[in-house]
Chains A and B, each alone.
Chain A
């Protein structure tokens, strides 16, 4: 079967072909449809650049990326994205923030007025899954950081994207909120099965959530190793105290230390 995301010898250099910073160097990576992949690595290893290249926001310098059987030339349609910063619109309440993509993405943008009640229902279901039911009418400043991030994740999912890209979405949250959201994200993934690429600097997060952890190194940004995680789903949070989990964690930790030297 054709991989859903296919990186073929991809390099990306900022500012000038010759002298610029080599953010991605000769990346080869295949992600299957419905797979949950996490990318970890030291800061500056090109993790975020990787996401931007995948979604077509930044053009690659050489090589090619294929997403959903089409070569990436410009921004890829129907991708969901969420960042460390929730970037909600302060003039919209929770419900309208979640529904923003429907007003933009094809084909929903042509019928979001007619089918509004249907979409409102979908948004409410999503908010319920991240335990935000009842906050539909609240404005972003009335929500805590963790709640805002939940809204941001709902927004990235409302149009049922085939590919979900998360750039350290839980990075700014406290540990309890973070673990809460891990389970919420796992539930959503098990139910809707989008392909997810999660960029994170939290190894526990990566091992707990992903089917496969990709380890990147910096200068130039490159893939050094990968680790398949085979724990059965749904994974309980107590799994993170498991000895086998600990071993995988340590080996990944060791690899990152090795490459950042």
Chain B
């Protein structure tokens, strides 16, 4: 019974996805929805198979800009989070500015980035960075700032310097928050990169979708959406696996306990 139960549990997400596409397919047939409004999944897959290599080329470009932007966001986010989390004054001082920046619609920033850097790869990387930076900073800062005061006292009474407290307790303690934010940030990074590509690029999934839409090639637009989702799920899974490996101690309730 038990192996079967685990097998079912593992298969359920897949079943849900297949059911989703089946219902979609059936809906387009039953309601006779024209392809230029909502293409059937079968049509989308056909386009993917037909134009596999061109789509992969664009997907690679998007993957590249997203990953670079995301990695920069991770580096700056970790650094910023540690700095802000370690000082209440800095946290209070910079928080309004951060929220202000985060409230700016990134699509409005892209034209400015184009003026500064031209079109193509650089603005995509920067908007991926801008959009995924915020959740990382806030989460890391929160993890560090919520350190138990007693624990801090124990270390201070041992003659620990601020740096010791950070290295031994603050940073390890903030890691679950950090990885939780990575899962949000990686999907946001795709959004950032694609927004930029739709406005100012001549390659990438965003560009592919905009140019396909202008030719009313709606199945190709949807193919782009689908490829983006697959990449997003893949990157999310990578983040989740790293999280499970490194901070499994914080998730003992679910799987780690024997």
Q: Which of B154, B158, B168, B173 has the most CB of A within 10 A?
A: B158
Interface size on A, residues (CB 8 A): 30
Q: Does B9 contact A (CB under 8 A)?
A: no
The answer to whether A104 and B151 touch across the interface, beta carbons within 8 angstroms, is no
The answer to whether B158 and A141 touch across the interface, beta carbons within 8 angstroms, is no
Q: Which residues of B contact A139 (CB under 8 A)?
A: 249, 252
The answer to whether B249 and A75 touch across the interface, beta carbons within 8 angstroms, is no
Given known pairs A89-B169, A90-B250, A100-B168, the reply for A52 and B155 (CB within 8 Å) is no
Closest chain A residue to B248, Cβ basis:
A91
Q: Select the stretch in A77-85, A112-120, A243-251 that faces chain B.
A: A77-85
Q: Does A87 contact B (CB under 8 A)?
A: yes
Contact with B along A14-49 (1 / 0, CB 8 A): 000000000000000000000000000000000000
Q: Which of A81, A101, A104 has the most CB of B within 10 A?
A: A104
Q: Which residues of B contact A78 (CB under 8 A)?
A: 158-159
Closest chain B residue to A156, Cβ basis:
B154
Size band of the interface chain B makes with A: 20 to 34
Q: How far is the CB of A72 from chain B (nearest CB, A)?
A: 11
Which of B154, B160, B249 makes the CB contact (< 8 A) with A90?
Answer: B249
Chain B, interface SS category? helix
Closest chain B residue to A54, Cβ basis:
B157
Q: Which residues of A contact B156 (CB under 8 A)?
A: 55, 57, 75
Q: Which residues of B contact A91 (CB under 8 A)?
A: 172-173, 175, 247, 249-250
Q: How far is the CB of A5 from chain B (nearest CB, A)?
A: 14
Q: How far is the CB of A15 from chain B (nearest CB, A)?
A: 16
Q: Which residues of A contact B247 (CB under 8 A)?
A: 91
Given known pairs A100-B168, A104-B164, A141-B252, the reply for A77 and B153 (CB within 8 Å) is no
Q: Which residues of A contact B151 (CB under 8 A)?
A: 87, 89
Q: How far is the CB of A174 from chain B (nearest CB, A)?
A: 21
Q: Does A133 contact B (CB under 8 A)?
A: no
Q: Does A76 contact B (CB under 8 A)?
A: yes
Which of A81, A105, A106, A159 makes the CB contact (< 8 A) with B153?
Answer: A81
Contact with A along B162-187 (1 / 0, CB 8 A): 00100011001101000000000000
Q: Which residues of B contact A89 (CB under 8 A)?
A: 151, 169, 172-173
Closest chain A residue to B253, Cβ basis:
A141
- Bound together, the chains give a CA A68 to CA B127 distance in angstroms of 58
The answer to whether B148 and A87 touch across the interface, beta carbons within 8 angstroms, is yes
Q: Which of A55, A81, A91, A141 has the most CB of B within 10 A?
A: A91
The answer to whether A83 and B168 touch across the interface, beta carbons within 8 angstroms, is no
Q: How far is the CB of A92 from chain B (nearest CB, A)?
A: 9
Q: Does A103 contact B (CB under 8 A)?
A: yes
The answer to whether B252 and A103 touch across the interface, beta carbons within 8 angstroms, is no
Q: Which residues of B contact A141 (CB under 8 A)?
A: 249, 252
Considering only residues 204-254 of chain B, those with a C-beta below 8 Å from chain A are 247, 249-250, 252
- Complex A-B: 17 CB contacts under 8 Å: A55-B153, A56-B157, A57-B157, A75-B156, A75-B159, A76-B157, A79-B157, A83-B153, A89-B151, A90-B249, A91-B172, A91-B249, A100-B168, A101-B154, A104-B168, A106-B159, A139-B249
Q: A56-B157, A78-B158 are in contact. List 17 more A-B contacts (CB 8 A).
A: A55-B153, A75-B159, A80-B157, A81-B153, A81-B154, A83-B150, A89-B151, A89-B169, A89-B172, A89-B173, A91-B175, A91-B250, A103-B164, A103-B168, A104-B155, A104-B168, A106-B159
**Interchain residue pairs A-B with the least CB separation, the first 5:** A77-B159, A79-B157, A87-B151, A105-B158, A55-B157
